[in-house]
Homo-oligomer: A and B are copies of this chain.
Amino acid sequence: MQIAVVGLGLIGGSVALAAAERAGAAVSGWDADPEALEAARSRGAVQHAAASLAEAVAGAEVVFVAVPVGALPLTVRAALDACGDGCVVTDVGSVKRTIVAATCDQRFVGGHPLAGAETAGIAHARADLFDGATWYLTPTAITSGILFERLHRLLKELGALPVAIEPDVHDALLAVVSHLPHVLANVLAAEAAGALGGGERLPATGPSFRDATRVAGAPSAIWTDIYLSNRDALIARLDAVVARLADVRAALAAGDGDWIEAWNDAAAGDRRRLLEAGGPGGELHELRVSVPNRPGVIAELALSLGRAGVNITDLALHPAPDMSEGVVALWVAAAQSARARQLIDELGFPVARA
């Protein structure tokens, strides 16, 4: 398989390494920064360091655009203009509404891997970055099912767990599980430095501070765009947090130990439920679904299951010879197969257990 990676930072570089090592792909790469491109080549992440974006994507079957969120619309457009009709183009941006709305093309599928590190740049890229990581995909009603399936399968080979989601649901989710934690980490670092910085030297801090501020000051070249692109969703979460802090303050001022205890216990339960939400493992069931061969069908299926928390562990599309219809084979956890079947029934597609 021939793939292209445009933008060779931590994520792009890791995609390139994983695609080469795990999917046996021939990887062509391009980066606006010649040093990053050369570093990717010398690390073996890209076999071909292209002289331009157009050269990188020529002949590719899958193109990953891994540039900052603000640069996505123009770069994705350029990739679509330069690649072939049978190529799927995806991105890895942390905000999805803008790029999906700006890109009306059946070959485009928005994407976002929930993976990262305290470090940025090609130097820290690694082939196992996506192992077990949720990789959100935002297919729409015009997305080609064949191209979606190809991307889905490749992401599985990279070690990730692809999950379909609507762009607006994605952005609201990321506002609370990623962008808000980043804002709080920044505020905490600033507050601590402000409160403690008066002395001759800062005092020692403990592990809770280190963890709480791990993502403080994430690279501005990436994060300024992210904050601004998702600012409506983020502002809603900031307002909610301020209201919650006011409740805590009132309970502290009143010395209300019962309230504090109940609040603290609830947080323990909330965190446990959130972190357990990785989905069931174990035995897989295959469901074979007959679908008409029109754009949007695969997106409809994947989004419906994703919304209900049913992970599609694997997905294969078998078009009929005349391309008029097809069979989608879906693998889901045994514990979720009855629910998956019910959801597919509700969509009106015939389903048969293999």
Contact = CB atoms under 8 A, between A and B. Distances in A.
A277 B270 CA distance: 33
Contacts of A177: 192, 196, 203, 205-206, 208-209
Given A114-B204, A217-B267, A309-B201, A188 B184 contact: yes
B252 A231 contact: yes
Contacts of A348: none
B252 A204 contact: no
A216 B114 contact: no
A289 to B, nearest CB: 20
Given A178-B209, A209-B177, A240 B195 contact: yes
A154 interface: no
Number of this chain's copies in the assembly equals 2
A268 to B, nearest CB: 2
B273 A206 contact: no
B178 A237 contact: no
A200 B231 contact: no
Given A181-B212, A206-B115, A200 B309 contact: yes
Nearest to A70: B257
Nearest to A207: B116
B264 A224 contact: yes
B208 A178 contact: yes
Given A209-B178, A217-B269, A204 B255 contact: no
Nearest to A161: B204
Contacts of A184: 184, 188, 212
B244 A228 contact: no
Contacts of A203: 134, 163, 165, 173, 177, 277, 309
A96 interface: no
Contacts of A260: 220, 224, 227-228
Contacts of A269: 217
Most chain B C-beta atoms within 10 Å of own C-beta, residue among A261, A270, A273 = A270
Contact of A182 (B199, B208, B308): B208
A78 interface: no
A284 to B, nearest CB: 18
A39 interface: no
A26 interface: no
A282 interface: no
Contacts of A278: 204
Contact of A206 (B134, B186, B200): B134
B173 A217 contact: no
A264 B218 contact: yes
B309 A244 contact: no
Contact of A199 (B183, B241, B307): B307
A248 interface: yes
A271 B214 CA distance: 8
B277 A201 contact: yes
A187 interface: yes
A33 interface: no
Given A224-B261, A235-B253, A215 B217 contact: no
Nearest to A255: B228
Given A115-B206, A208-B214, 5 more contacts: A195-B237, A205-B277, A217-B266, A227-B260, A231-B253
10 contacts: A116-B206, A163-B204, A181-B211, A184-B184, A184-B188, A186-B264, A190-B270, A204-B277, A212-B212, A224-B264
